[in-house]
């Protein structure tokens, strides 16, 4: 996490966390190694929102979820978080996953 807004709640009382994740990796493309660096908006609802709030800024995490458009009017991608794995500070990491 490189940026995180304050935890908020929907009118129905569901916790919502928004922020930005930075990804950096080396990938093979056309037989050559390429450095890939990107930032993407993230959104988490319910328990995953609490997990994102608990992740210290700058800490390495691995998240799974799905990409969706920000809104009807904005097609910018947002990563909706279903699970998060904290990669630092624990030999095997710790995985938090939404039930269901």
3-97: CATH class: mainly beta
pTM, rounded to two decimals: 0.78
Average pLDDT over residues 12-31: 95
Instruction: Give the pLDDT band of residue 92 (cuts 50, 70, 90).
Output: very low
CA–CA dist 86, 35 (Å, integer): 23
Quote the percentage of the chain above a pLDDT of 90. Answer: 67
Q: Which residues contact 99 (CB under 8 A, 6 or more apart)?
A: none
CA–CA dist 85, 58 (Å, integer): 14
Question: Which phi and psi (to 5°) does residue 50 adopt?
Answer: -65, -40
Q: Residue 91: its pLDDT value, please?
A: 45
**Exposed e or buried b per residue across 25-44, where buried means at least 16 C-beta atoms within 10 angstroms of its C-beta:** eeeeeeeeeeeeeeeeebbb
Instruction: Give the pLDDT band of residue 93 (cuts 50, 70, 90).
Output: very low
Residues 52-91: pLDDT tens digits? 898 889 888 889 999 999 999 999 999 999 998 888 655 4
Question: Which pair of tokens denotes residue 8?
Answer: 């908020």
């Amino acid at each position: 996490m490189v940026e995180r807004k304050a935890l908020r709640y929907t009118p129905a009382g569901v916790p919502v966390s928004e922020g930005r994740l930075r990804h950096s990796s080396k990938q093979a493309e056309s037989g050559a190694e390429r450095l890939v660096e990107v930032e993407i908006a993230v959104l988490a609802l319910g328990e995953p929102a609490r997990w994102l709030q608990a992740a210290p800024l700058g800490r390495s995490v691995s998240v799974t979820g799905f990409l969706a458009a920000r809104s009807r009017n904005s097609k910018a991608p947002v990563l909706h978080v279903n699970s998060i794995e904290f990669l630092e500070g624990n030999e095997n990491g710790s995985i938090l996953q939404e039930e269901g």
